[in-house]
Amino acid sequence: MHVDHLLRLDRLDLSLVWGDEALLGQEIRGVTATDLEAPARFLQPGEVVLSGLVWWSPDGGSDKADSFVSALRGAGAVALLAGEETHGEVPGELAAACRRHRIALIAVPAHTSFRAITEAVYLRQWGELSRRPDDHFALPENVRLDLDRALETDATAGELLDRAFGHLGTPACHLLTSSGRTVARTTGSTELAAPRAAEHLRGAHGTTVRVEADDTVFDAWHLHLPEPGQVPPRVLQEIAELLGRHRRRQDRHRAARIAAAAELMDAVGAPRVDARRLHGALASCGLGDKAAYTVVVADVGPHGEAGADAVAALTEALHHLSSVSASVSFAVAEGGVGGETMAVVAREEAGTGDGDGRGRGFGVREVLGEVWPLVHACRPASTPRAGVSEPVTAAAGLNSALAQARYALSAARTAAPSAARVAGLGDLVGLEMLMAGIPADVRAVYRETVLGPLLGSGRASRAMLLETLEVFLAKDCSWARTAEALHVHVNTVHYRVERIEALTGRDLSRLDRKADLRAALLCR
């Protein structure tokens, strides 16, 4: 693989900053990611270097850039791939240094991960190796036959990993999802917490190969070795192909599971509870006769789109919950209302509250809150949000639980319209809880009706009066505490409140009028 091959990969969206034909024709032998100011001792000849440019700053930028590029030249690097996310662009000082030292310079846009570049290089190298005659890089024939037999007998992913890497001394290897959940690991491998595993996948730590299967960005599998260079690329690719076959075998009955889950969601959301239908649907999903149930409603896309991606995102998040407790099982399907995706989560034991917040509701709200950022990071352009119900101990209560979850989802959308969030009823208090369930268009009309005169004032005056109103109500209409919080004289607070009363036509000495204005502020 040559340097110019990277520029031809449309999915990476790379752009050439500087480099001539001779430099772009150099062969790539490897990839190293670094943000060290002096990286020479970690580089090998023939490598392309990935850098987020954290080490560079405008002050002293020319000297730093020259020193960094000189180190690359001395180590025999063939190109520098510079990320644009840190500084918004590739600094001109860096481009000048690359010209002086004759190092090809390529810009990496913020939306392209270093992991994707690393993977593209090693997959291309593997493809070139696979077209050569048989050599020492391929899996030995006895190992391939053993793995084929294990696959036919439905061996677990962990057993397949141990057998595949056994002839190599069983190096540490993890089979990870995109959100950092460990599907399996070789015997003796250190357990990786999900946040750290996700960081390794996105930070180009070690060696990572994607397992090709019928998956989405949320539930894709990745074969990850923390120590790079332990296993030849072709061997890794053959093991990844085997795991892809294993996953496809697991997913053979996916259509039946999806149909059963869809029937359950229809039964849960029916206007009138049909107990017989509901119990039958739960049993079809393997959720019958459980001690407690929780309903989760989520949307994933930037506008709440449903579909395979949304189902995969919520399923992946709930698999983290299963990792916490083996007694948890669930079913997920599109809910069909406003682009939502629904899940019913069941537990063998009801739970009574064990001090860490994971007894009541068996941890659904807490665990989802912890893993939601990891799921969000799989596709940053999405805005995943979820609402979680309180647990119910009988199937007949699932319809009410669904209403609670939808109510909590409305709160998650309202309180953080542009941020990923998980909400439960416990996150809502007082008037905020009531307002969360009101449709957005109704809230907008109410806000304009009550606050319209304030919103129509001059920009500076509007901001000042709205701030004063918020602080005045938050301080229980105390003139002195409001003045102290706003750092103004108490007479100024009196003047502003009188102005607010005049514009809105509401007397702030009356409780009902205070409630009107407080509710309108919550509608913003």
**CATH number, domain containing residue 99:** 3.40.1390.20
The tens digit of pLDDT for each residue in 202-226 reads 876 788 898 988 788 888 999 999 8
Q: What is the mean pLDDT of residues 423-446?
A: 71
Residue closest to 468 by CA, chosen among 445, 439, 491, 436: 491
Task: Name the β-bridge partners of 209.
Answer: 223
Is residue 131 predicted with pLDDT exceeding 80?
no
**CATH number, domain containing residue 348:** 3.30.70
Residue 377 is assigned to a structural domain of this protein: yes
Q: What is the mean pLDDT of residues 417-436?
A: 68
Residue 466 is assigned to a structural domain of this protein: yes
Domain closes at, from 433, 452, 468: 433
Residue 396 is assigned to a structural domain of this protein: yes
Count of the separate structural domains present in the chain: 4
Indicate whether 410 and 275 sit together in one domain: yes
Indicate whether 31 and 155 sit together in one domain: no
Indicate whether 297 and 341 sit together in one domain: yes
The three-state DSSP-derived secondary structure of 51-99 is ECCCCCCCCCHHHHHHHHHHHHHHHCCCEEEEECCCCCCCCHHHHHHHH
Indicate whether 145 and 212 sit together in one domain: yes
Cβ neighbours of residue 497 closer than 8 Å, sequence gap 6 or more: 468, 469, 472, 508
Indicate whether 423 and 448 sit together in one domain: no
Domain closes at, from 112, 128, 159: 112
Indicate whether 289 and 429 sit together in one domain: yes
Mean pLDDT of the chain: 83
Residue 166 corresponds to which amino acid? G
Domain that holds residue 161: 138-252
Residue 120 is assigned to a structural domain of this protein: no
Return the pLDDT at 327.
79
Indicate whether 326 and 429 sit together in one domain: yes
Q: Which residue has the higher pLDDT, 44 or 77?
A: 77
Residue 495 is assigned to a structural domain of this protein: yes
The structure tokens listed for 505 are: 């036509």
Q: What is the mean pLDDT of residues 402-428?
A: 74
Residue 322 is assigned to a structural domain of this protein: yes
The tens digit of pLDDT for each residue in 159-191 reads 999 998 888 888 899 999 999 999 999 998 998
Indicate whether 74 and 182 sit together in one domain: no
The structure tokens listed for 172 are: 């540490």
- Which secondary-structure segment (H or E) carries 33? strand 30-33
- Helix, coil or strand: residue 132: coil
Indicate whether 391 and 297 sit together in one domain: yes
Return the pLDDT at 127.
55
The tens digit of pLDDT for each residue in 314-366 reads 999 999 987 767 778 999 998 666 668 999 999 877 654 433 334 344 578 88
Indicate whether 319 and 429 sit together in one domain: yes
Residue 265 is assigned to a structural domain of this protein: no
Cβ neighbours of residue 103 closer than 8 Å, sequence gap 6 or more: 23, 69, 72, 73, 77, 78, 79, 80
Q: What is the mean pLDDT of residues 406-423?
A: 71
Residue 259 is assigned to a structural domain of this protein: no
Indicate whether 298 and 383 sit together in one domain: yes
Domain closes at, from 390, 415, 433: 433
Indicate whether 312 and 193 sit together in one domain: no
Q: How far is CA 445 from the centre of its chain?
A: 34
Is residue 520 predicted with pLDDT exceeding 90?
no
Tell me the whole-structure pTM to 2 decimals. Answer: 0.60
**CATH number, domain containing residue 191:** 3.30.450.40
The tens digit of pLDDT for each residue in 464-481 reads 888 888 898 888 899 999
**CATH number, domain containing residue 490:** 1.10.10.2840
The tens digit of pLDDT for each residue in 45-97 reads 889 999 999 998 888 778 899 999 999 999 999 999 999 998 999 999 999 99
Helix, strand counts (H, E) of the chain: 20, 14
Give the model's confidence band at 138: pLDDT under 50 very low, under 70 low, under 90 confident, else very high: low
